[in-house]
Every structure is written in C-alpha cells, then in structure tokens.
Amino acid sequence: MIKLKNLLALCGSLILCTAILFPSPAAAQDWPKSPVKIVLPFTPGGGDQVFRIIAPRLSEKWKQPVVIDYKPGASNIVATEFIVKSKPDGYTIGVTGATVANNPLFYKSIPYTYDDFSGITRLVNLEMALVARNDAPFNTLAELVAYARKNPGKLNWGTGGLGATYAGFRQFMFAADIDMVHVNFPGWSQALSELMGGRLDLVINPHDSSVQFVKGHRMKMIASFGPKRIPGFDQTPAVNELFPGVEITPYFAFIAPKGTPPGILRKIQEDTTQVLNEPAIRKQLTDLGLNVTTATPEQTDLAFRTETLEWAKIAKQIKLAPPQ
C-alpha cells in the first residue's frame, strides 16, 4: 500500500512533469518580460533590411526592446549554433533559411541537427539578382554567357557564404556550360564592396542588398534568379527564360532553440505575421523586392527537411562535390 506521504510526493512530481512538458498558456501570455534578441547570420547591410523594418513594430507590440545581434560566418552555422545553445525561453530568436537545408552539401561536420531547433515562421522570400561591375564587358545575360564561354575561368563571382545562393548559381553555370571562379565572403556587403572596387566581376545576392547601388549606377544588374522578372526591372530577364528550371528563391525564417514553449512559438509566429501583413510594412518590403510568405511552426519545420532532399537531388544532377 502506498503511504499518504509517498502518494502526495508522487502527485507533486507528476504535476511538476506535466507543467514542464505541457506549459500553461500563461507562459505565452506573460512573455516577454525582458528584451528579445534576434540573431542574424550575416553582416550589417548584408540582408538585414527586413529585420530593421519589422523590429521596431515587434518592439511596440511586445512592449520590450527588440535587439538585432549579428553573428556571420560559415553559411549560417555560427549563428545557428549560437541559437541551439541558447536558453529555450523565447528571448533569443534566430534567422535562417534555405541555407540550413543545403549546408550538408558543403560541410561534413555541422554542430547541430534539425532536432536542436524549432521553426517559428517563414518571413519573406528574397528576389535574387546577379550584378556586375560597371565596366564588365557584357550588359545582358546572353552576353555574359557568350563571354564566359569564350573565356573559361577568366571571370570571378562572389557570394556571401555557401548555401542556396552558391548551389543555385552552380546550377546556372552547369546549365550554361560555363566556368567561372568562385570567391566566398562572410557576407554580401563585403562582396558588393569588392565588386564596386573593381576586384570582382559578378555578385549573386539579394536584390534588396544591391538595388540602391544599381539605381545609383555603381553596378549593373544582369539578371534575376527568381521565377519571374523583378518588378521595376522589367527589362532585365530572369535566368529561367534562357535556362528553364534554373531558379534561386531563398527565404528568411525565424527559429528558436528546441524546448521553447509551444505557446511562445505560436505567439511569436502570430505577432510576426500580423506585423508583416500591415500595409505600410508590406509596401516597404515589396519595394525592396521582398515577398511576404508566412507559415506555421509545423510548416516551417517540414520545409527545412523537405528542402534538404530537394537540394541533394540538384547536387547530384550538377555533380557538386561532396563535403570533405
């Protein structure tokens, strides 16, 4: 027979376990009580526009400061590792995207798995643009391909890390049957700086990072890599017009350390979705070539895993060397 004292202790343990495994909705209602940190995997000016736009509105909604913390390096790996090692309380949110799905193509050892973090929501799809230095000996995509075929290995191209952008551009080179030298940078801002300095021929980057320089005539846009032409740049073709099936559509998504209470994940997702759909915010993002595309935490998690399989197929198609 169980003694009353032991029974009460057992019940207390069960209540404690239940509270841990199934947090009360009050946990989400009381959140946040202190500043919230958004960790970005790139350098300032290298794709952070969307977060500088939405952070003030999230701060107003949450009545707490929202701080942007930059942790670039190793194609999101540095930032994502920081996230998975953070306390799962909703006060540290990470940003990632398609890169987390294709990093296994380039890195043999990654210090985390999908089981170490939880998706919160998709944020925006990025329009990708191929830009060239102003004095490059080509002005159109067709001219670039013709020049590169006549001069194999002469042109160089830069990216802000490996990942979806790199893999997608390699897919383009394979389809176009051209050979160019890749130069990797910690972030897009460094790559664009080298381009404007005349030390780089091409950069494939988010349109919102380079549009101001294109409009300022400091570089020229050769092509877009999305499913269609970028609004406002209707004279510049999409790569898939010449090479069907070649597209790059990276995106940004919020993630949190595994173990973050589901109620808090849902609150962040719902509040972020509301902010992204505010007419003034949506217009700012659209003007930068950023397309709002939200998702539930469950949909976000599933997308990461599905895309890993899709990128593995592309890597095999274009004969991308496995990580060493």
Alpha-carbon separation of residue 37 from 70, 81, 216 (angstroms): 10, 15, 33
DSSP state of 294: -
pLDDT, position 164:
80
> Tell me, what amino acid is at 141?
L
pLDDT, position 38:
98
> Tell me, what amino acid is at 32?
P
pLDDT, position 68:
97
pLDDT, position 31:
97
Distance in angstroms (rounded) separating the CA atoms of residues 277 and 280: 8
Pairing of strands 66-70, 290-292: unpaired
- Asked whether the beta carbons of 114 and 91 are under 8 A apart, the reply is no
pLDDT, position 15:
37
Of 137, 129, 138, residue with least CA distance to 160: 129
pLDDT, position 16:
40
Distance in angstroms (rounded) separating the CA atoms of residues 205 and 158: 9
pLDDT, position 10:
39
Distance in angstroms (rounded) separating the CA atoms of residues 16 and 13: 5
Q: What is the DSSP string of 270-292?
A: HHHHHHHTSHHHHHHHHHTTEEE
Which two tokens mark 164?
């979806």
pLDDT, position 25:
55
Q: pLDDT in tens for each of the 324 residues of the chain?
A: 334 344 334 334 433 444 444 444 556 788 999 999 999 998 887 778 899 999 999 999 999 999 999 998 888 899 999 999 999 999 999 999 888 888 888 888 899 988 999 999 999 998 899 999 999 999 999 999 999 999 999 999 999 878 788 888 999 999 999 999 999 988 888 999 999 999 999 999 989 889 999 999 999 999 999 999 998 899 999 999 999 999 988 899 999 999 999 999 999 999 999 999 999 999 999 888 788 999 999 999 998 888 888 888 888 888 887 664
pLDDT, position 27:
63
pLDDT, position 322:
64
pLDDT, position 246:
93
> Tell me, what amino acid is at 71?
K
pLDDT, position 9:
43
Domains and CATH numbers, the chain: 32-126+250-317 (3.40.190.150), 128-241 (3.40.190.10)
pLDDT, position 323:
60
- Asked whether the beta carbons of 152 and 177 are under 8 A apart, the reply is no
